[in-house]
Amino acid sequence: MSSSKQMSLLLMTILSSLLYLLVSSFEYEIGANKGWVVPPANDTRIYNDWASENRFQVDDTIRFKYRKDSVMEVSVEDYKKCNSSHPNFFSNTGNTVYHLNHSGYFYFMSGVSGHCERGQRMIIKVISSDQETNSGGEKSSASPSAPVLSSGVFKALLSQLAMSYVASYVFY
């Protein structure tokens, strides 16, 4: 294979691989190494403060890790009242991944009695790609806390690179 064909193949591989990165989503882990727990009495806004420092976009995911607890996505009215009787979503698996599938606000709280009142709740604002600038017109400098490529995108990217590598030897 001529060097110009090899260079073209390499360039096509790189460009097609970059497309996966452009459409990737992030996974955020709630509470980092502590997980989804009742916050200390003097820090009941810890989850909302964390959420306001991040820029969530449609198709991102959030992961809740917890023990002997649960996570619920609820209406704004239920969030304000810490009412857990009518959740839109409920999980108590200990390792919950929630897909942020539209722009707007998502309201989360613990389903364990008394935990929401003690601060184990959070509001996440999800922006669409056309909302990426803040009110001043400039991009936000906040970066995701422990973001990772979603596993599907990562696997697809690795697969693409592996196939390109093999193809370069087959056609060489």
Give yes or no for residue 56 having a pLDDT over 70: yes
- Separation of alpha carbons 145 and 28, rounded Å: 6
Angstrom distance (rounded) from CA 15 to CA 9: 10
CB contact at 8 A, 61 and 148: no
pLDDT(60) > 90: yes
**CA distance linking residue 145 with residue 72, whole number of Å:** 21
pLDDT at res. 156: 57
Sign of CA pseudo-dihedral 156, 162, 165, 171: negative
Q: What is the dihedral of CA 64, 89, 26, 166, to 10 degrees?
A: 100
Residue 112 has pLDDT above 90, yes or no: yes
Higher pLDDT, 21 or 41: 41
Length of the chain: 172
Q: Of 49-58, 119-128, 137-146, 157-166, which gets the smallest average pLDDT? A: 137-146
pLDDT at 171: 59
Query: Hey, how many other C-beta atoms are within 10 angstroms of the C-beta on 149?
Result: 16
Is the pTM for the entire model greater than 0.85? no
Which of 67 and 165 is assigned the larger pLDDT? Answer: 67
pLDDT at 16: 62
Residue with tokens 């490529």: 149
In the chain, the percentage of residues whose pLDDT exceeds 90 is 56
Q: pLDDT at position 128, please?
A: 85
Identify the residue whose tokens are 């649960």: 70
Average pLDDT over residues 42-52: 94
Checking if the pLDDT of 18 tops 60, the result is no
C-beta of residue 82 within 8 angstroms of C-beta of residue 115: no
The tens digit of pLDDT for each residue in 64-83 reads 999 999 999 999 999 999 99
- Give kind and range of the element (H or E) at residue 152: helix 151-170
Distance CA 123, CA 78 (A): 12
Helix (H) or strand (E) holding 51: helix 46-52
Q: Does residue 160 surpass a pLDDT of 50?
A: yes
